[in-house]
Structure 1
Amino acid sequence: MRIYQPNLLSFPATIILLYISRVATASYSGSRQLYVRDDPITIPPYFIFENVRLERAYVALQAWKRTMISDPWNLTLNWFGPRVCDYNGVVCSESLDDPSINKTVSGVDLNHGDIAGHLPEELGLLTDIALFHVNSNRFCGTLPLGFSQLSLLFELDLSNNRFAGKFPELVVGLPKLKYLDLRYNEFEGGLPESLFEKDLDALFLNSNRFTSKIPVNMGSSPVSVLVLASNRFDGCIPTSFSKMGETLNEIILMDNGLQSCLPNDMGLLKNVTVLDISYNSLVGELPVSMGQMESLEVLNVERNMFSGVIPEEICLLKNLREFIYGSNYFTGEPPTCRYLETYNSTMNCLKDVKVQKSTMECKVFLSKTVDCDSYKCSPVTYSCVCPGHLSPPPQISPFSPPSAPSLPPAPQPSPSA
């Protein structure tokens, strides 16, 4: 009988013993053990695996199944026996680093399973895995340190679960990671600057409890999609924002507590198709340079404290089909804005336009000068000091946080009775 037995040792010893590929040979009963936990994963002597990597995958998946306290759709019902490549949600393919190994576990997809449990350290034994998708479940806890061993991981989707704690910084060290989706969880605290230095293609962090400022080096990120909506970020939109023009296609910063003016060089974001900065406390005028955002299709700036006249260059953008700018303090709009496929200008300070703010409210707000320099949104200073002479209006978030126009949240399945 072979036994994989975890042992809670000191951190360095645990890492060494957990993830080295050799299996320690025990001195009794001819059994083999990998000392990784107190309750051993027992492998029947008649189990035959094609290679040691599939054997380690068996241990990882059995340890994970032990943590699952509810599987209403019975997705893991067939997770038994040595043929791990036949398990529901498990994908196998050839080894990427050893041509002599023709079958390894390269992916796990338990999306929409409504499974309750947590992620054990043993998942770090899945060293060949490239895709790990568990969105729309009820997994809780934190991302285990074992994930730092997943050097081939390309896509990590933990969205729509109950994970909590600080941002899992270990993901920054995953060399192949390109797609990171942590939305709709309970992560909190700030974001590390190193996250925006990583070569990611898509980053979804919306609908968590992240706080503090957005790191000033946000513009260093090469992502094409960035979603930070529905968190608790405050302070400035980093002035490095406009440096993302070469790669950025969609950015959603809605429903936070951002307080600053927009960078004047927004026009450098020539590849952006969706820009949503609604439900914040942003001030000042919309930069004229936004009229150079030639790929822009959807622009949402509603529920802020913008003022001034909307530049006509924006509404003349050839690809723009939706412009939502209600609930601000704009005093003028070009007639061309009204010819867009979708627009909303209500609750501003526009003359001769229906459903606007009261004359008194507009007069009081517009009597105060907005000094964008006073927000001190420096590209080299992490802190952002914002003045208190303007009190932001109440931020009345929708009953359900609006989703990005092209990135709806994954539905939560309900098991049948």
Structure 2
Amino acid sequence: MLALQCGCWYREGSFRNNHRWGWGWIPPSTGFASENIKRDYCTIQRFKKLITRDPMKITKKWVGNDVCHYPGFKCATVPDQKVTALAAADFNGYHFGGRDLQLTGFLDQLPDLSIFHANSNNFTGPVPKNITTSRVRYLFELDLSNNKYSGEFPVSVLQATNLTFLDIRFNSFSGSVPAKVFNLDLDVLFINNNKFSQQLPRNLGSTPVLYLTLANNNFRGPIPKSIGNARNLLEVLFLNNELEGCLPYEIGKLDKAVVFDVGSNKLTGPIPHSFACLKKMEILNLAVNKFYGPVPEMVCDLPRLANLSLSYNYFTQVGPECRKLIKKRILDVRMNCILDLPGQRSAADCAKFFSKKRTCPNERSLSYIPCRKGGYSSSLETSDQQSMAPAAAPITYNALKPHKLRL
């Protein structure tokens, strides 16, 4: 049976659970700005019927033909058609809810959309399969964070190859993250605060991202050596996972990085001397792991360091440069095995740890410094101080909060 509702034809029973899903036809004399807007209006009105919880009464304003002025929507000119259409949907913080509130049939039915943000809502079900570059041609920002998603990684995003921003944090996704994710041409990848459990893919370093957060999952195993190839990285958060093994010297190749955080894992070994190459590093967190040995003076001598967290490890020695940072409260070495400093582990605790022989694969690589002539130097050598302007406040730590993130 066919019926007319809100200016759109629809076929009853064409959507599961007896939702009435339309075909998108609107009579021609309705005064819309373009045929694209007609289509988008119909899609919005169908989607509106799925929203049964709207605490901010947003959808009450989704009336009339001028969808470009609906709260949460913005329009622009479609580049290849030179007509007006919906270009952005921003539902951040709207707290939409519904018995079966899904994005299938909505997000994939807005082919001119370039930005979709939906932080802090109650979307569930599968992420739409048809968000391919051929379908939603200009989609470059997708934020599904802080919703009710579960199950496997939403592999459909791999088809949206124009994406530069992908944020699926604070859901209950589990299983593995496909290695292909790290081949996407992204600037931002936030997958923290889910339930992913796997070894990090070997091609991790293939990612071109600037900001990467993998925190608060169950990633295990070592950090791949390929990370040294991710030369665009500015901030990377691995904290609060189950990562193991020694840090690869290749981390020292991240010469643009300002934040590197592997706190609260099961990592071990000495700090690689290659960290002396991290000239722009401001926040370096290795706390709550099983690192040991002397703290390299060249690391304490990095010119931009504002916070160096080494607490709750098994470090045994700090030199003059590191002691300067302790006095400035830049360096935290509480609960280590440094005999002449207060707030350290007990002698019994340290003795128990060092009673077992501990080595790293390719120990010689831990003394390698890729940014220095000859590649090697003594652990007490300090770097040349450089005068650098302070950088902007870190961004990725804000991603560890569930609500709206501003970049």
* TM-score (normalizing by structure 2): 0.82
CA distance in 2, matches of 1:94, 1:144: 24
CA distance in 2, matches of 1:40, 1:82: 19
- Report the secondary structure of 1:339's partner residue: helix
Q: Work out whether 1:197 is the aligned partner of 2:186.
A: no
CA distance in 2, matches of 1:286, 1:226: 22
Q: Which amino acid aligns with 1:279?
A: S
Q: Work out whether 1:249 is the aligned partner of 2:234.
A: yes
Cα distance per residue 1:45-83 (max 9 Å; x no partner): 564423221122122212222222211011221113332
Q: Work out whether 1:371 is the aligned partner of 2:359.
A: yes
User: Aligned ranges for residues 41-190 of structure 1 at < 5 Å?
Assistant: 41=22, 45=27, 47-99=30-82, 101=83, 103-117=84-98, 118-123=101-106, 124-148=108-132, 149-190=135-176
- Report the secondary structure of 2:351's partner residue: helix
CA apart distance, 1:171 = 0.9
Task: Name 2:401's counterpart in structure 1.
Answer: 409
- Report the secondary structure of 2:86's partner residue: strand
Q: Which amino acid aligns with 1:328?
A: N
CA distance in 1, matches of 2:402, 2:103: 24
CA distance in 2, matches of 1:105, 1:94: 9
Q: Which amino acid aligns with 1:241?
A: I
Runs of 5+ in structure 2 lacking a partner?
A: 364-394
CA apart distance, 1:405 = 3.6
Report the more deviating stretch, 67-76 or 223-232.
Answer: 67-76
Q: Which amino acid aligns with 1:78?
A: K
Q: Which amino acid aligns with 2:111?
A: T
- Report the secondary structure of 2:61's partner residue: coil
Contact 2:131/2:159 (8 A) holds in 1: no
CA apart distance, 1:370 = 2.1
Taking a change above 3 Å as real, the CA distance of residues 5 and 372 of structure 1, as seen in their structure-2 partners, is: farther
Q: Work out whether 1:232 is the aligned partner of 2:218.
A: yes
Q: Work out whether 1:281 is the aligned partner of 2:262.
A: no
- Report the secondary structure of 1:203's partner residue: strand
Task: Name 1:290's counterpart in structure 2.
Answer: 275
CA distance in 2, matches of 1:304, 1:159: 29
CA RMSD, aligned part only? Answer: 2.3
CA apart distance, 1:163 = 1.4
CA distance in 2, matches of 1:115, 1:177: 24
Cα distance per residue 1:347-381 (max 9 Å; x no partner): 11111111111111111111212232399xxxxxx
Q: Which amino acid aligns with 2:317?
A: G
User: Aligned ranges for residues 290-329 of structure 1 at < 5 Å?
Assistant: 290-329=275-314
Task: Name 1:216's counterpart in structure 2.
Answer: 202
CA apart distance, 1:88 = 0.6
CA distance in 2, matches of 1:285, 1:137: 44
Taking a change above 3 Å as real, the CA distance of residues 244 and 332 of structure 1, as seen in their structure-2 partners, is: same
Task: Name 2:10's counterpart in structure 1.
Answer: 4
CA apart distance, 1:137 = 2.0
* TM-score (normalizing by structure 1): 0.80
Percent identical = 34
Q: Which amino acid aligns with 2:271?
A: L
Runs of 5+ in structure 1 lacking a partner?
A: 10-36, 376-402, 413-417
- Report the secondary structure of 1:162's partner residue: coil
CA distance in 2, matches of 1:5, 1:93: 30
- Report the secondary structure of 1:141's partner residue: coil
CA distance in 2, matches of 1:291, 1:349: 23
CA distance in 2, matches of 1:98, 1:219: 38
- Report the secondary structure of 2:71's partner residue: coil
- Report the secondary structure of 1:106's partner residue: strand
Report the more deviating stretch, 59-68 or 213-222.
Answer: 59-68
CA apart distance, 1:3 = 0.8
Task: Name 2:391's counterpart in structure 1.
Answer: none
CA apart distance, 1:162 = 1.6
CA apart distance, 1:325 = 0.5
Taking a change above 3 Å as real, the CA distance of residues 83 and 406 of structure 1, as seen in their structure-2 partners, is: closer
CA distance in 1, matches of 2:287, 2:317: 15
CA distance in 2, matches of 1:172, 1:5: 32
CA apart distance, 1:278 = 0.2
CA distance in 2, matches of 1:228, 1:287: 22
CA distance in 2, matches of 1:38, 1:298: 51
Contact 2:289/2:312 (8 A) holds in 1: yes
Q: Tell me the matched-pair count.
A: 355
Contact 1:224/1:248 (8 A) holds in 2: yes
Contact 2:309/2:332 (8 A) holds in 1: yes
